[in-house]
Amino acid sequence: MTSSNVAKTLVSLIVVGAILALPKNVMAQSSVGSIVTQDFFNGIINKATGDCPGKSFYNRDAFLNAVNSYGQFASGPDEQSKREIAAFFAHVSHETGFLCYIEEIGGANLDPSHYCDQTRISEYPCNPSKGYYGRGPLQLTWNYNYGAFGNANSIDGLNAPETLAQDAVVSFKSALWFWMENVHSVIGEGFGATTRRINGAIECDGKRPDLVQARVNYYNDYCNQLGVAPGDNLYC
């Protein structure tokens, strides 16, 4: 055996040894890009009707670009990562009609004060000519969310909230920011816990079981597509 072949054999043994050394309950981590394939992404957005504004706005490249700013998203073992991605896109599908909507329906017609929380106005002052209605894959709302998201991403969220509807990368960043701030920490508690974090006050505890079921249906579908069991505690 040549020295080159010996070296290759040693490298192979080291890799195999490292894999075998993993705890039995830990699966190797997959990258987000290898899970959210173009086919998976297209399968979501193609369910939207043909005249949806989101179909020419949202795209996989923008999503993966945004993910680069949130390295902890879906960064766990393979099974956990797939469940988090399935949960994320289940809620995105519910909030935007399969990435159909960029902005809240009728949001532009609301009085600008509608989503201006006066109790936090000293920290996140509302621009009276701007509306903080839902925008992006998770329909970010309220002045305090726009302000905090902007601060975290060097964007003037309070004075230019419309950026979320103009730049697809920023739009996905807004959804990932909200997810990492509010949802990521409970992913291990089951899908129901993520629904409670997103819209629990309106939907959970029997308030809107139809909407909760719709979210669960999307989640189960995406888990099936990704080849992972949905886990327990699906309802909130």
Report, as residue numbers or ranges, the catalytic residues: 95
Chain position carrying tokens 């309070």: 158
Q: How far is CA 190 from the centre of its chain?
A: 16
Spatial separation of the C-alpha atoms in residues 133 and 116, rounded to whole Å = 9
Burial (Cβ within 10 Å: 0-12, 13-18, ≥19) of residue 66: buried
Chain position carrying tokens 């970010």: 140
What would the two tokens of residue 162 be? 């419309």
The residue type found at 62 is A
Of the CA atoms within 13 Å of residue 137, those in its CB half-sphere come to 32
- Contact present, 231 and 83 (Cβ < 8 Å): yes
Spatial separation of the C-alpha atoms in residues 126 and 48, rounded to whole Å = 33
Residue 89 sits at φ, ψ, to 5 deg, of: -75, -25
The residue type found at 205 is D
What would the two tokens of residue 1 be? 């055996």
Which neighbouring-strand residues pair with 138? none
